[in-house]
Amino acid sequence: MLTLIKDAHIITQNAERKLVRGDILIRDGKIVQVGGSVEGSADIEIDASGDIVLPGLINTHTHVSMAILKGIADDIPFPQFLDRVFKVDAHRTERDIEAGAAQGCLEMIRSGTTTFVDLYYSQDIIARAVERSGIRGILGWAVLDQEYTTQKGVPLDNCARFHREFRGRPRIYPAVGLQGVYVCSTQTFLSARDYALENDLLLTFHLSETRKEVSDCKRKEGKRPGDYLASIGFLNDHCVAAHSAWLTINEVRGLASSGAKVSTCPVSNMKLATGGEAPIPEMLQHGVTASIGTDGSTTNNSLDMFGEMKVLSLLQKSSRWDPTVLPAQKVLDLATIDAARAVRMDGLIGSIEVGKRADLIILDGRAPNLRPSRPSSMVSNIVYSSFGTNVKTVLCDGKIVMRDRKMITMDEERTLSEAEDAARALLG
Ligand SMILES: [Zn+2]
């Protein structure tokens, strides 16, 4: 099976960050040529003349099935926000979790995300929607102490059951999730770590999202969350720590020396006004691999990684009074190749290179907000001028998921009406 993308501006995100003009040839899902002109015909040909091809974006922290909860807890203080969301969450059914996940996948496809990291319970239900959608889901089952959970049974056992049942399925990557220091004991952290490392799974968790989390942890454990997790030997190279907003330089060093990665969630932090700005420049200086997450739809309220890239860059520049902080190329790295590294899949995805799987998105080069189309400003246009709606075609693992803005893998009308019905049943 040969797929040929013709005459595109290709933002490769390879080691040299090369921009090339020409064709991309894909054989059985694998990229076999980048640039130049491919002679002969293919089974599927996509004319991309004047368009821009990028690696599919990677959202490293979300709660996808919360897509149908969008708008239920806006513009209120964080404690009230948690109260409202937990109350609704306690009444969720399998049907509305799946419907929400499907809607979230649809939103991600339309805005160019081809891989995401999720943190929630009931990942077996979410996986059904991800399988249908055609994109990749790294699905972290939420583990927390028994006394705090609404899950039936032991959360880590549920996580292990999900892993055993779903491992090896195409585009589904079971992972271990942890809610955070406020509901997980040292033993819970260490058991989750052991299971993840024994099975080579990603280990993702919330870290230092709020000041309260930091002060509570200092009171309970005598240390800040990052220092505490380092001191118990929890941090390792399979970790992706979401938020990581309230960190000291010592905690950044702890992340760096353990090989742990970070998913920063700028819009979520800003919208909840929790005040933290992840120290991304210091993380990068110390060699921490950083990436970007939207967080869930109750705190963002969008899954559009283009918006997230721009906000991240603006927040970091503005808070440092320094426009040289996080240049456009680095921001794009955080959403592509660095994110692939964060989820330990950089041998497979994250750049457009021969030998990698074809996770690609095509942006409409005719869109006024992306013109003029000069190679020297193309990356800048992507980070500062683009929206998810500029994405017109999406391929994941070589298969076309959306073509010329028409969904191929999912029935869009049905997905949206099911989500609408589920939201009505849940929220009234
Ligand atoms: Zn989160």
Summarize pLDDT for 212-252 with one digit per residue, the tens.
999 999 999 999 999 999 999 999 999 999 999 999 999 99
Identity of the amino acid at 7? D
CA 12 from chain centre, in angstroms, equals 20
- Pairing assessment for the beta strands 391-396 and 19-27 based on DSSP bridges: unpaired
User: In sequence order, what are the beta bridge partners of 3?
Assistant: 26, 44
> What is the CA(53)–ligand 1 centre distance, in A?
29
> What is the CA(382)–ligand 1 centre distance, in A?
25
Q: The domain that contains 110 carries what CATH number? A: 3.20.20.140
Looking at the structure of the chain, the number of domains it has is 2
Residues 159, 264: Cα–Cα separation, whole Å: 24
User: In sequence order, what are the beta bridge partners of 5?
Assistant: 24, 46
- Are 174 and 123 part of one and the same domain? yes
- Are 305 and 372 part of one and the same domain? no
Q: Name the domain boundary from 342, 365, 395.
A: 342
> What is the CA(206)–ligand 1 centre distance, in A?
6
- Are 313 and 231 part of one and the same domain? yes
- Are 221 and 129 part of one and the same domain? yes
Contact 360, 401 (CB under 8 A): no
> What is the CA(238)–ligand 1 centre distance, in A?
18
> What is the CA(242)–ligand 1 centre distance, in A?
7
- For 279-315, the pLDDT digits (tens) are 999 999 999 999 999 999 999 999 999 999 999 999 9
- Are 234 and 174 part of one and the same domain? yes
- Tell me which residue range forms the domain holding 23: 2-56+356-407
Please tell me the predicted confidence (pLDDT) of residue 428: 84
- Are 41 and 122 part of one and the same domain? no
- Are 144 and 41 part of one and the same domain? no
Q: The domain that contains 401 carries what CATH number? A: 2.30.40.10
Residue 323 is classified by DSSP as T
Residues 88, 92: Cα–Cα separation, whole Å: 7
Residue 273 lies in a domain: yes
Please tell me the predicted confidence (pLDDT) of residue 275: 83
- Are 130 and 197 part of one and the same domain? yes
List the chain residues with pLDDT less than 70: none
Tokens for 308, please give them.
């997230």
Q: What are residue 181's phi and psi, to 5 degrees? A: -60, -25
- Are 256 and 274 part of one and the same domain? yes
> What is the CA(298)–ligand 1 centre distance, in A?
10
Region of residue 29 (phi > 0: left; psi between -120 and 50: alpha; otherwise: beta): left
- Are 46 and 78 part of one and the same domain? no
> What is the CA(191)–ligand 1 centre distance, in A?
21
Residue 30 lies in a domain: yes
> What is the CA(291)–ligand 1 centre distance, in A?
14
CA 211 from chain centre, in angstroms, equals 24
- Pairing assessment for the beta strands 399-403 and 406-407 based on DSSP bridges: antiparallel
Contact 303, 297 (CB under 8 A): yes
Please tell me the predicted confidence (pLDDT) of residue 90: 87
> What is the CA(293)–ligand 1 centre distance, in A?
9
Please tell me the predicted confidence (pLDDT) of residue 34: 98
Q: What is the largest CA-CA distance in the chain?
A: 68
Please tell me the predicted confidence (pLDDT) of residue 399: 98
Residue 357 is classified by DSSP as B
Tokens for 178, please give them.
């942890």
